[in-house]
Structure 1
Amino acid sequence: MKARSAITRALGTAVGAGALAWLVMAGAPAATGGTSAVADEAPGYAVENFDYPGADKILAERNITLKRGDGHIVLADCASQTGLLEVWARSHDKVCFRVTGNSGWLTLEIPSVYGVKGNDYATTVDMTVADEEKSYDVEENAWTAVGESADEQGREFMLVEIRSTK
Structure 2
Amino acid sequence: MKARTAHVAKPQRKRFMARTLGAAAAAGALVWLALAGSVPTESGTKTQAIAPVAVEGPGYAIEDFNYPGADKILAEKNIVLKRGDGHITLVDCSSGPGLLEVWAREQAGAKFCFEVVGNSGWLTLEIPSVALIKGNDYTTEVDMTVGAEEKTFDIAKNAWTSVGESAEEQGRQHMLVEIRSTK
- After TM superposition, the score normalised by the length of structure 1 is 0.79
Contact 2:37 2:47 in 1 (8 A): no
Larger Rg: 2
Q: Secondary structure at the match of 1:56?
A: helix
State whether residues 98 and 137 of structure 2, in contact with CA within 8 Å, keep that contact through their aligned partners in structure 1: yes
More helix as a share of residues? 2
1:106 aligns with 2:123: yes
1:7-31: CA deviations, max 9, x gaps?
xxxxxxxxxx9xx86x729833453
Query: Structure 1: which 5+ residue stretches go unaligned?
Result: 1-16
Runs of 4+ more than 4 Å apart: 36-39
Offset at 1:67?
0.5
Q: Distance in 2 between matches of 1:50 and 1:149?
A: 31
How many angstroms does 1:45 deviate by? 0.8
1:120 counterpart SS class: coil
The residue aligned with 1:136 is 153
Which residue in 2 is equivalent to 1:28? 36
- TM-score normalised to the size of structure 2? 0.72
Distance verdict in 2 for CA 1:157–1:42, change over 3 Å: same
Which whole-Å CA distance do the structure 1 matches of 2:47 and 2:151 have between them?
Answer: 64
Structure 2 spans left out of the alignment, 5+ residues: 1-24, 40-45
How high is the sequence identity, in percent, across the aligned residues? 67
Q: Answer yes or no: is the 8 Å Cα contact 2:129–2:174 preserved in 1.
A: yes
Query: What is aligned with 1:51?
Result: 66
CA deviation after TM superposition for structure 1 residue 43, in Å: 2.6
Instruction: Look up the equivalent residue of 1:129 and give its one-letter code.
Output: V
Aligned residues: 146
